[in-house]
Structures are given as structure tokens and as C-alpha cells.
């Protein structure tokens, strides 16, 4: 009998708390659904949702709390800086400066130079390019040697067909052999039609020259780039370099912008489907050539599962690059810091040979990325540290991440932990906030938030993992606030009822 009465009392007690149980269950279920919906959204689209926007801002805050990191010292910036513009003249300046600069850098021991730029049109021959020949032709005419004068004029005519700047640049590219030429791709049919037109024969001009840098891929049998892997980025057209330069080159890579909705570059696409060829990004290609490694891309039924770099002389020396969990082949960048996080070396100093003794020592064994940093030449691509950083530094960060192996990771296993954590927290905190006092449950919530942040900081973030903390934190805060408010309202109502009852019996 006592047992029956006890069970009845417990049941009555639970029934009295039923609204709170429903409330907490709704919060837990809502958080679980929100995470599930977020993962499905990210798996099927590049569009970001509210959870991603909040978590990405928290990630930015973590980077800023950590502060800038020192790069490996193996990647630098070959800067088209103010000094270069002052020395070489108005931008864009003659391409003859690139050729001589590349030869000098090769002599200094620079491993590779990657171009975060394209030279899509032939250079127009300038008067300065033929001034010497015009002077010689004039002198020959004065001396009455018309045949020699005509020879000079024919040479001038040839220079106007192919500029000496282009010819010298192309010869240097072929001679030094350590140049990675960049190209950019169009991400939609509308973009390629706007920039190139409707003539599809022009969409992939000179692709046959670029295919030398196509990557090896391990794809499940029966699958192709075009038919499957919806998250793998596809190029609808491209703009590469002037054919004379492409013909001289032997290394190519695409560059582009992977900014989130808030314009900040957190992810970088490492591989792209270019008309059935899997092409590498500039950062990936520079890292691979710097390490004397071949790149292999491994696919599963979803898309890109992993990217590995195998040393050409020792296959046991390999680096596995963790990419996004949805098969897009994107790297979560561990940004080094704000602008000038990487050492800048002026292009003009390379041309004139005016690097300091310290700079010469630093350049030996280094690889460089060329990009504009002077006003009017810049390609601004904000990162988490700096809203006005030169875009070339983001490519440098990718290469540096791969070389050191300290890129950030966002894995499916971590997403699974987050899902389970939402349920576990609900089962633990729901009884606590429903039946516990506001003081005890409030203390538990604060203790959890502090402990969760500390665990994430020391166990996940410091080891390169991006874990979500907003949803679990919101879950327990929402349960605490709503249950406390409900208790306050119901207790006040009960107090008023008791007070009203006693007013009938007491003065």
C-alpha cells in the first residue's frame, strides 16, 4: 500500500512538472533538428545558414584570442610593391622585368615562384622597347647604309608582332623551369557568358597546355567528375595566360576567391573539375612542388575524401591534407595573422639584384608567391585577422599550412560528437533545471560553459579542430532561462492564490 502511494506521489510530482519537461524536450529536439538541418544544408549547398554564421564568428574570435602565428619561413611574398611601381614605371609595367627577376631568383636558390596573376593578352610593344633599334636605323640611314637600316626596321616590325617583354618573359619561364603560372575559372554559366560570350569554343582555350598539371585521382568505379560529386567545384570556363607564356610553362594552377557571405576567406578550394581534369589550386601546387611531391586525390561516394602529397623520391614521406567533410575538397585555413604575416620581397630588388645579405640568405630554399601589394595592383581578400589583407597572402597561408601540416580540420566524427552532446546535455541538465533550485542549476550552467570553452580551447582548437560550441551552449542556457522564468511565474501565481484564500479567514 505504501509503495502504491509512493508511486502515486511520484507520478503526481512528475505530472506537475510536465510543462517543464515538454519545454526542455522541445529545446533539446529543436537544437538537435537545427544541427541536423545545418549539416544537410552544408552537404548539399555552399550557402551558409544561421548556425554556420554564428559558429564562424566564434571561430574568428578564437583565432584573435590565439593571436598571429609565425610561418614556417619556407613561403614568402614576391611583392609588386610601391618600390617596384616607382622603379619600373606606370602599372602595368613591361613584362621584361619579370623575366630578369625570375633568372636572378633562380640563381639565389629560390625553389618555386607561383603567380597569383594572369597575363591574358599580349603585351603592346612600347617605344622604349624599340628605341635603341630606331636610333640604329636612323644612324644607318644617315651613313647611307640603307640595307642595314631596313634590317633594323624589319626587326622593329617583328617586335611589334611579339613584344620583347613577352618574348623575354617566356624564355625565362622556360629556362628557369620553376614557375607556376596561374589561371582563373568561371563558377557559373552566367559568369562565363558575361566575360567571354556565348561562343563555347572559347571557354577552355589553351586547356591542352594546362593539362600537364592535372592531378591523379582515385575514383570509385563507375563514377565521373561531371555525373557525381555535386560539391566538387566545376569550372564553366577559364582565362589563362597568353599562349606564348603557356607554351613556355610546365606548371599551372588556378586561383580564386572562396569568401563566405561576410567576405572573409576561411576555406580555400584545393581541387577543381576543369573540363574533366582535376586541377590544383595555387596554394596546393606551390606546396607540392616546394616539397618535391606528387598530389593524389582520393574520392568516396560523396566526393573528395582526402588529398595526399607523396614525395617523388621517397613515397614513405607523405602528407595527408584533411578537407571538408562534404566532399568539396576545401581546406579550412589556419591563418597566420594580419597583413605582412609573410615576409615580402620586392620584385624590383629581384630585378636589380639589390636584396640585402640577410634577404639573400632567407631566399635560399624558399618558394615565393607573386602578387600585387601596391595601390592599384592589390587584390584584397579579407581573412579573420585583417579586413584589408592582400589576397596573395591567403594563398601563402594555404601553402604554409600544408608544408607544416597544421591546417584546421572540421570532421564528420566531430559533427557526430556534437549531435550526441546535444542529447546528453538535455538528459543531464533537464532534470537539474526542472527539480533543482535556480542557484544550483545556474551554478551548473556557468560551470559547464566555462569547462566546455576550456575543453574546446585546449583539446580541440589548439589541436586544429573546429568544434561547434554555440548550439550546446544555447541549449543549456535556454533550458535554464525558460524553466527559471516558468517557475517564477507559477510560484507567484501560487502565492497570490494562497494569499487570496487566507484573506477570507484573516483580517
pLDDT at 89: 83
Question: How far is Cα 235 from Cα 424, in angstroms, rounded to an integer?
Answer: 44
Compute the chain's Rg from CA coordinates. 32
Enumerate residue ranges in the chain where pLDDT < 50. Answer: 2-7, 10, 492
Q: What sign for the dihedral angle of Cα 43, 324, 312, 359?
A: positive
Sort strands 318-321 and 304-311 into parallel, antiparallel or unpaired.
Answer: antiparallel
Cβ atoms 266, 284 nearer than 8 A: no
Q: Residue 13's CB: how many other CB atoms inside 10 A?
A: 10
pLDDT at 5: 45
The Cβ-side half-sphere exposure at 270, using a 13 Å CA radius, reads: 35
Q: Kindly state the cell numbers that stand for 83.
A: 618600390
**Residue 290 vs residues 91, 119, 345: alpha-carbon distances, Å:** 30, 23, 18
Question: How far is Cα 186 from Cα 274, in angstroms, rounded to an integer?
Answer: 10
Query: 114, 244, 118: which is closest to 174 by C-alpha?
Result: 244
- Which single residue is written with the C-alpha cell 571557354? 203
Q: Residue 161's CB: how many other CB atoms inside 10 A?
A: 8
pLDDT at 174: 95
Q: What is the DSSP string of 191-205?
A: HHHHHH-S-GGGTTT
Dihedral, CA of residue 115, residue 119, residue 124 and residue 126, to nearest 10: -10
pLDDT at 132: 58
6: exposed, middle or buried (Cβ count in 10 Å: 0-12, 13-18, 19+) = exposed
Structural element, H or E, at residue 279: strand 277-280
Spell out the residues 6+ positions from residue 72 whose beta carbon is closer than 8 angstroms to its own: 400, 403, 404
pLDDT at 502: 54
pLDDT at 244: 92
**Residue 271 vs residues 203, 249, 260, 277: alpha-carbon distances, Å:** 19, 20, 18, 10
What stretches of 389-469 show up as alpha helix (H) in DSSP?
391-404, 412-435, 438-455
**Residue 76 vs residues 290, 319, 389, 390: alpha-carbon distances, Å:** 12, 21, 15, 13
pLDDT at 127: 56
Strands, sheet with 318-321, edge to edge from the N-terminal-most edge strand: 216-218, 293-299, 304-311, 318-321
Q: Residue 146's CB: how many other CB atoms inside 10 A?
A: 10
Bridge partners (DSSP) listed for residue 75: 367
pLDDT at 10: 47
Bridge partners (DSSP) listed for residue 309: 295, 319
**Residue 45 vs residues 56, 327, 415, 427: alpha-carbon distances, Å:** 17, 11, 17, 32
pLDDT at 500: 53
Question: How far is Cα 387 from Cα 397, in angstroms, rounded to an integer?
Answer: 16
Query: 386, 246, 283, 305: which is closest to 77 by C-alpha?
Result: 283
Cβ atoms 346, 79 nearer than 8 A: yes
Q: Residue 40's CB: how many other CB atoms inside 10 A?
A: 11
Sort strands 330-332 and 267-269 into parallel, antiparallel or unpaired.
Answer: antiparallel
Amino acid at each position: 500500500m505504501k509503495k502504491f502511494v509512493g508511486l502515486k506521489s511520484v507520478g503526481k510530482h512528475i505530472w506537475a512538472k510536465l510543462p517543464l519537461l515538454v519545454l526542455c524536450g522541445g529545446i533539446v529536439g529543436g537544437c538537435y533538428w537545427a544541427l541536423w538541418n545545418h549539416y544537410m544544408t552544408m552537404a548539399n549547398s555552399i550557402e551558409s545558414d544561421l548556425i554556420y554564421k554564428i559558429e564562424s564568428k566564434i571561430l574568428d574570435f578564437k583565432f584573435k584570442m590565439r593571436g598571429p602565428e609565425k610561418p614556417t619561413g619556407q613561403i614568402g611574398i614576391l611583392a609588386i610593391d610601391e618600390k617596384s611601381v616607382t622603379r619600373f614605371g606606370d602599372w602595368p609595367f613591361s613584362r621584361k622585368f619579370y623575366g630578369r627577376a625570375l633568372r636572378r631568383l633562380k640563381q639565389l636558390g629560390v625553389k618555386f615562384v607561383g603567380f597569383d596573376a594572369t597575363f591574358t593578352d599580349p603585351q603592346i610593344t612600347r617605344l622604349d622597347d624599340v628605341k635603341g633599334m630606331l636610333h640604329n636605323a636612323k644612324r644607318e640611314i644617315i651613313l647611307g647604309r640603307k640595307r642595314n637600316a631596313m634590317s633594323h626596321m624589319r626587326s622593329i616590325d617583328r617586335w611589334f608582332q611579339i613584344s620583347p617583354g613577352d618574348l623575354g618573359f617566356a624564355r625565362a619561364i622556360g629556362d628557369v623551369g620553376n614557375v607556376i603560372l596561374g589561371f582563373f575559372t568561371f563558377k557559373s554559366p552566367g559568369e562565363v557568358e558575361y566575360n567571354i560570350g556565348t561562343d563555347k569554343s572559347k571557354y577552355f582555350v589553351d586547356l591542352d597546355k594546362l593539362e600537364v598539371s592535372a592531378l591523379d585521382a582515385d575514383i570509385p568505379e563507375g563514377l565521373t567528375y561531371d555525373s557525381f560529386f555535386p560539391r566538387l567545384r566545376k569550372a564553366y570556363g577559364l582565362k589563362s595566360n597568353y599562349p606564348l607564356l603557356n607554351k613556355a610553362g610546365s606548371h599551372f594552377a588556378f586561383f580564386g576567391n572562396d569568401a563566405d557571405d561576410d567576405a572573409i576567406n576561411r576555406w580555400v578550394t584545393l581541387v577543381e573539375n576543369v573540363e574533366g581534369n582535376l586541377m590544383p589550386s595555387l596554394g596546393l601546387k606551390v606546396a607540392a612542388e616546394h616539397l618535391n611531391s606528387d598530389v593524389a586525390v582520393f574520392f568516396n561516394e560523396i566526393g573528395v575524401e582526402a588529398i595526399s602529397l607523396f614525395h617523388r623520391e621517397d613515397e614513405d614521406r607523405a602528407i595527408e591534407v584533411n578537407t571538408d567533410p562534404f566532399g568539396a575538397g576545401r581546406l579550412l585555413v589556419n591563418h597566420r595573422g594580419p597583413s605582412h604575416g609573410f615576409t615580402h620581397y620586392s620584385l624590383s630588388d629581384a630585378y636589380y639584384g639589390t636584396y640585402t645579405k640577410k634577404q639573400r640568405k632567407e631566399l635560399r630554399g624558399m618558394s615565393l608567391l607573386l602578387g600585387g601589394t601596391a595601390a592599384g595592383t592589390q587584390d584584397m581578400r579579407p581573412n579573420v585577422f585583417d579586413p584589408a589583407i592582400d589576397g596573395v597572402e591567403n594563398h601563402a597561408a594555404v601553402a604554409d599550412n600544408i608544408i607544416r601540416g597544421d591546417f584546421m580540420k572540421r570532421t564528420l566524427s566531430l559533427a557526430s560528437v556534437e549531435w550526441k552532446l546535444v542529447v546528453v546535455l538535455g538528459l543531464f541538465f533537464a532534470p537539474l533545471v526542472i527539480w533543482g533550485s535556480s542557484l544550483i542549476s545556474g551554478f551548473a550552467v556557468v560551470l559547464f560553459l566555462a569547462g566546455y570553452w576550456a575543453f574546446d580551447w585546449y583539446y580541440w582548437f589548439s589541436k586544429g579542430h573546429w568544434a561547434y560550441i554555440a548550439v550546446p551552449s544555447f541549449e543549456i542556457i535556454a533550458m535554464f532561462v525558460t524553466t527559471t522564468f516558468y517557475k517564477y511565474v507559477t510560484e507567484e501565481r501560487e502565492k497570490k492564490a494562497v494569499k487570496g484564500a487566507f484573506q477570507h479567514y484573516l483580517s
